[in-house]
Amino acid sequence: MKINRHGQSKILTPEEIDLLFSQGLQTERDRVLFSVCLFSACRVAEACSLVTSDVYSLKGEVHPVLILRKANTKGKLATRNIPMLEDLRVTLSNYYPHAGKYYLFPGRYNRGYLHPDTAARFLKEACNRVGLQGVSTHSFRRTALTQMSNAGIPLRVIQKISGHRNLEQLQKYLEVPSEQVKGAIASLSMLSPIGKDLFPDPEASTPIKS
């Protein structure tokens, strides 16, 4: 768990996500911003710098993919096109009247885009309201990637979504639930010789006649 910027960001449970979005985050903008982070597994800086025209058509309809421009991604490796989840499409559709003219989440006085550090501060305040610890803006990305991994999605496919340079970097994000670790150990029981009559009493065996 991440405490005072040390350790990894907390993986959120469905109950914690519901609590955060229903009672913690106070504005529509903040709820939409972190919905983007959660449902596209993008970094908060990538979400903050989204261009409105990359999200909506001229008629205000949400595009079938979320475009994360190469110039705004970490390392500027490549543009990523993330399929639009229906829940996110509805959320963005409702947000359209509040979207900025150029940036989806405009900064103060409509200058530039909302700074990621400002978004992090809003999230911290939201977590304090509902008593959540260890949560950072990276929690949404880690939660999304771990959820996909636990669902059995191949790592190569997840890497395509996350934009990591290699699988080693991606695996550092993923959390293995303790239940899976217990299940892995439990699977070894089939190998156990305990309880099996591997060493019978030699006196009980029938002697072979010569």
pLDDT digits (tens, 9 = 90+) for 177-202: 677 667 666 767 777 666 555 555 55
E strand map for the chain: 65-68, 80-83
Which letter does DSSP use for residue 166 in this model?
A: S
Report the 10 Å Cβ neighbour count for 59. 5
- pLDDT tens-place string over residues 147-183: 888 888 888 888 888 877 777 767 776 766 677 667 6
What burial class does residue 168 get, using C-beta atoms within 10 Å of its C-beta: 0-12 exposed, 13-18 middle, 19+ buried? exposed
CA distance 48 to 37: 9
- Between CA 186 and CA 124 the distance in angstroms is 39
Residue pLDDT, tens place only, 102-131: 999 999 888 899 999 999 999 999 999 999
- Per the prediction, the chain carries an average pLDDT of 84
pTM: 0.78
So what's the pLDDT on residue 199?
Answer: 52
Domain 14-144 CATH (choose: 1.10.443.10, 1.10.10.10, 1.10.1040.10, 3.60.21.10): 1.10.443.10
Domain ranges in the chain are: 14-144
